[in-house]
């Protein structure tokens, strides 16, 4: 990776960083009965709970991304030559992948290896009960 490509990815990371830090976290609103809304039927309650679950999930994911953005920026500063290398196998992560996800830590293969066994373990655990 050359300096120009690193600059491009750094700009992407900085943009992501400001987007993630300036944006107020999705607020978790208390259950409310809004009279202005049509109805007030009892179906609304489970929906609110679902929305809260989604909102808190989203906050968790955003925190994870922010941590990786910060890590990638630190790497760019401290060890720019290693930036863009897979942390697992040391191969260069393709630029296209980095453009889409400048905070990527692993190449597609290693990411797949990491995601794979975990998914299988969960599934086999579920079938233990049968």
Residues at the interface with Zn ion (CB under 5 A): 86, 88-89, 107, 110
* Minimum distance of Zn ion from residue 65's CB (angstroms): 20
- 76 vs 107, which CB is nearer to Zn ion? 107
- 65 vs 110, which CB is nearer to Zn ion? 110
How far apart are the C-alpha atoms of 10 and 13, rounded to whole Å?
5
Two tokens at 25? Answer: 């976290």
How far apart are the C-alpha atoms of 57 and 47, rounded to whole Å?
15
* Minimum distance of Zn ion from residue 99's CB (angstroms): 18
* Minimum distance of Zn ion from residue 12's CB (angstroms): 21
* Minimum distance of Zn ion from residue 94's CB (angstroms): 11
Q: Give the number of other CB atoms < 10 A from CB of residue 94.
A: 13
Contact (CB, 8 A) for 31 and 68? no
- 70 vs 110, which CB is nearer to Zn ion? 110
- 10 vs 85, which CB is nearer to Zn ion? 85
SS3 85: strand
């Amino acid at each position: 990776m050359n300096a120009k490509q690193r600059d491009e990815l750094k700009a992407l990371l900085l943009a992501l960083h400001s987007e993630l830090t300036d944006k107020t976290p999705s607020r978790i609103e208390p259950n409310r009965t809004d009279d202005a809304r049509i109805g007030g039927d009892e179906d609304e309650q489970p929906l609110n709970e679902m929305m809260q679950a989604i909102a808190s999930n989203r906050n968790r994911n955003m925190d994870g991304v922010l941590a990786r953005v910060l890590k990638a920026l630190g790497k760019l500063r401290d060890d720019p030559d290693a930036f863009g290398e897979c942390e697992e196998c040391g191969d260069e992560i393709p630029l296209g992948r980095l453009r889409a996800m400048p905070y990527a830590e692993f190449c597609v293969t290693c990411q797949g290896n990491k995601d794979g066994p975990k998914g299988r373990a969960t599934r086999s655990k579920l079938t233990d009960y049968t």
